[in-house]
Amino acid sequence: MKHKFIDMHCDTISELYYRKRENKPYSLYENELDIDIKRLQSGGAYIQCFAMFTYLPKVESAFKYADTLTDLYYEELEKNKEYIAPVLCAADIDKNEAAGKISALLTLEEGECCEGSAEKLKHFYDRGARMMNITWNFKNSLGHPNHVDVNNGSVSPDMENGLTEKGKEIVAYMVDLGMIVDVSHASDKTFYDVADIVKGPFIASHSNCRELCGHTRNLTDDMIRIVAEHGGVSGLNYCPAFIKTGADYITADDFADHVLHFIKVGGEDVVGLGSDFDGINSKKLQVRDPSYLPMLWDTLVKRGLTEEQADKVFYKNVKRVFTDIIK
Ligand SMILES: [Zn+2]
């Protein structure tokens, strides 16, 4: 049986853009990627967040690149408007559901797309962005990431370098605007700096438990407790390297291990989903695209969650945070 879900992170728009740029066919409705509308529908999608991911070494202007991706996001929503519609305010979520449509939420993955400027951040807010990562895996004008060695994974959390002065201003401005501050990819110090500035909820859209899988893209137990204290959520990331070190195949039970650890440490309100689909190697996954999510829901219940708790993980926790922040 299908169960409603909210996925806080995917890189599908980037993948579509690479195809468009190479004059290859591309479609959000049906494709060979991890996510398309057909499989979102069959899996029970309620809200899908779409990240405008900017890879700094390859772009001249992060602002212009993210703006180009945003154009493509709206082109695809327009082509598929009978199935999917954007969320700009909390009321849109129920409105889209009543119309039988999946909701789409625009997010920014690379804080440098606002180039340190409140006006540029506001530009993206006005275009519908409601969530932004401080950093990806590079240092930028807002703050520092945890060091990630692209060849060997990541072993060194950065406890020294956090938000810059500009970063502190931008985070405070995001709170004023009603944008969700996302600490996935941020350094440990950046995480704690964000927790000092943001009094209400903030999120880690796609990060797991470092206690179970020692990758620095994951959260320590202390961080999970702080996210919970703030009323925020962390989205389960399906990336094999963030679930289980060295595994060739990742089962729904491996996902459930992280969900159960989140709940043990931070309570049943702290965990949601943040697939990272189209940014990860999904060939290694039992839950290999959104149409497999009902299997995950069944696994969570089999592992001892109540149906209400499984629904909290699938959508209720994230919806609570979204409706709290996005006015
Ligand atoms: Zn990411």
DSSP string, 118-165: HHHHHHHHHTTEEEEES-SSS--SSB-BPEEETTTEEEE--SS--B-H
Question: Ligand 1 centre and the CA of 202: distance in Å?
Answer: 16
Query: CA-CA distance, 25 to 138, in Å (whole number)?
Result: 31
Phi, psi of 163 (to 5 degrees): -70, 145
Q: What is the pLDDT of residues 2-33, one digit of tens each?
A: 999 999 999 999 999 999 999 999 999 999 99
Query: CA-CA distance, 84 to 75, in Å (whole number)?
Result: 12
Question: Ligand 1 centre and the CA of 112: distance in Å?
Answer: 14
Question: Ligand 1 centre and the CA of 99: distance in Å?
Answer: 31
The alpha helices in the chain, defined as continuous H runs, are 12-21, 37-43, 62-79, 91-98, 118-126, 165-177, 188-197, 221-229, 240-243, 252-266, 293-302, 307-311, 317-325
Question: Ligand 1 centre and the CA of 284: distance in Å?
Answer: 18
Question: Ligand 1 centre and the CA of 272: distance in Å?
Answer: 16
Six-digit token pair at 210?
Answer: 């470092």
pTM tops 0.95: yes
> Which residue is it, tokens 């961080």?
223
With cut-offs at 50, 70 and 90, classify the pLDDT of residue 151.
Answer: low
Percent of the chain with pLDDT over 70: 98
Residue 152 in this model has a pLDDT that exceeds 70: no
Question: Ligand 1 centre and the CA of 133: distance in Å?
Answer: 9
Question: Ligand 1 centre and the CA of 154: distance in Å?
Answer: 14
Question: Ligand 1 centre and the CA of 281: distance in Å?
Answer: 13
Residue 158 in this model has a pLDDT that exceeds 70: yes
Question: Ligand 1 centre and the CA of 98: distance in Å?
Answer: 31
**Residue ranges per domain, the chain?**
5-325
Question: Ligand 1 centre and the CA of 68: distance in Å?
Answer: 19
pLDDT attached to residue 153? 60
Give the fold, CATH level 3, of 5-325: TIM Barrel (3.20.20)
Q: Which residues of 238-271 are buried (b: 16+ CB within 10 A; e: fewer)?
A: bbbbbbbeeeeebbbebbbbbbbbbbebbebbbb
Question: Ligand 1 centre and the CA of 136: distance in Å?
Answer: 7
Residue 322's identity, in one-letter code, is F
Question: Ligand 1 centre and the CA of 108: distance in Å?
Answer: 10
Question: Ligand 1 centre and the CA of 109: distance in Å?
Answer: 7
In this prediction, residues 42-67 reach a mean pLDDT of 97
Question: Ligand 1 centre and the CA of 206: distance in Å?
Answer: 7
